[in-house]
Amino acid sequence: MSLPLNIAEKLKQMLDKVEIPSSKLKHAVITGLIEDGVIQVRNIGKSQRMYYVNKPESLTAYIANHFGISSLENYIEYQKNDTGTRNESVLISSDSKLKQVRTFKGFLVNCYQPIDALLSEKSFIINPLEGTYTFIYDYEHFKVPASVTIVGIENPENFKEIQKQKSLFNNISPLFVSRYPQNKDLVKWLGGIPNKYLHFGDFDFEGVNIYLNEYKKHLNEKASFFIPDHIESLLKTNGNRELYNRQLERRPDEKQITEKEIIKLIALIDKYKKGLEQEIFINN
């Protein structure tokens, strides 16, 4: 059994000889402390009870023996600290999994031409060998030239096969980033750099929603949606009607959209009643 933060905070108060109403200490940990005589009970009237600790040293010993926590104060501080590491948790208690810690953060990048970058002010070149990607862990200190356009790719297959889609991005210097693994790290990084963001996703209602809800609302004018010039002929010839029907309930509301190109795309999807997945560009 673990020690919840709110219970730890109440126990810390009790170490300082503060009485706590029983209504605020309903937990199996407290039941055990009462049964073992570490916490005392004082009745007030017929229904109200107050919990207190006669011997603070007994509570300290109990917490150490049962939870491996040598200091409630340090434990509470650690639980409230979002940047705590497993190494720190071992110093505070005997459990390296004291709380869930993100030891795997960041995002994948890919490119088909070398791109100069900075990581913690040190220069390096992004140029993955075929069959590999580059994973950026310390993204808070990762920078690329402002002239580079960050292209977010929705589907893993397209991210893998960027060489086959070079002709789509002849007019920009792209660095491709993957939406997977899905987390907030990518958007945090995009929000802190001056580079433009171009979203390359599916040409259907779900693809538009992903762009609007995951990127546009955070990046505002810095973000745009990639729409090829021949999108109408692609929808007409290669679009999928079943995809359109399946996503009708998630159709975006044009009244909430300010980008004219997105409104035009939605109109074309409605016109042909088809959606188009971005994998079409790998085969064509």
Q: What is the per-residue pLDDT across 12-66, written as a single tens digit (0 to 9) for each?
A: 999 888 899 998 988 988 998 898 888 998 888 777 889 999 888 888 888 887 7
Which residues span the domain enclosing 270? 107-283
User: Is residue 122 over pLDDT 80?
Assistant: yes
Q: Binning pLDDT at 50, 70 and 90, where does residue 98 land?
A: very low
Residue range 178-200: mean pLDDT, rounded: 92
Q: How far apart are CA 8 and CA 22, in angstroms?
A: 15
Q: What is the pLDDT of residue 1?
A: 61
Backbone angles phi, psi at 26, to 5 degrees: -95, 100
Do 71 and 113 belong together in one domain? no
Concatenate the DSSP letters of all residues of 191-248 into one string. Answer: HTS---EEEE--BSHHHHHHIIIIIIHHHGGGEEE---TTHHHHHHHH-BHHHHHHTG
Q: Which of 92, 125, 150 is the last residue of a domain?
A: 92
Residue 251's H or E segment, with its range, is none
Do 87 and 111 belong together in one domain? no
User: Is residue 127 assigned to a domain?
Assistant: yes
User: Is residue 87 over pLDDT 50?
Assistant: no
Do 154 and 260 belong together in one domain? yes
Per residue in 218-241, pLDDT (tens digit) is 999 999 999 999 999 999 999 999
User: Is residue 163 over pLDDT 90?
Assistant: yes
DSSP 8-class letter at 67: H
User: Is residue 263 assigned to a domain?
Assistant: yes
The side-by-side arrangement of strands in the sheet containing 115-119 is 122-126, 115-119, 142-143
Per residue in 244-263, pLDDT (tens digit) is 999 999 999 988 899 999 99
Q: What is the pLDDT of residue 224?
A: 97
Whether cis (ω within 30° of 0) applies to the bond prior to 4 is: no
Give the other-Cβ count within 10 Å of 253's Cβ: 7
Do 158 and 52 belong together in one domain? no
Q: What is the pLDDT of residue 171?
A: 93
Q: How far apart are CA 157 and CA 175, in angstroms?
A: 16
User: Is residue 166 over pLDDT 80?
Assistant: yes
Residue range 136-142: mean pLDDT, rounded: 94
Backbone angles phi, psi at 39, to 5 degrees: -105, 135
Do 47 and 177 belong together in one domain? no
Q: What is the pLDDT of residue 75?
A: 87
User: Is residue 149 over pLDDT 90?
Assistant: yes
User: Is residue 92 over pLDDT 50?
Assistant: no
Q: CA Rg, the chain, in Å?
A: 28
Q: What is the pLDDT of residue 100?
A: 45
Per residue in 62-81, pLDDT (tens digit) is 888 778 888 888 888 877 77
Q: What is the pLDDT of residue 258?
A: 92
Q: How far apart are CA 37 and CA 270, in angstroms?
A: 70
What's the chain's average pLDDT?
88
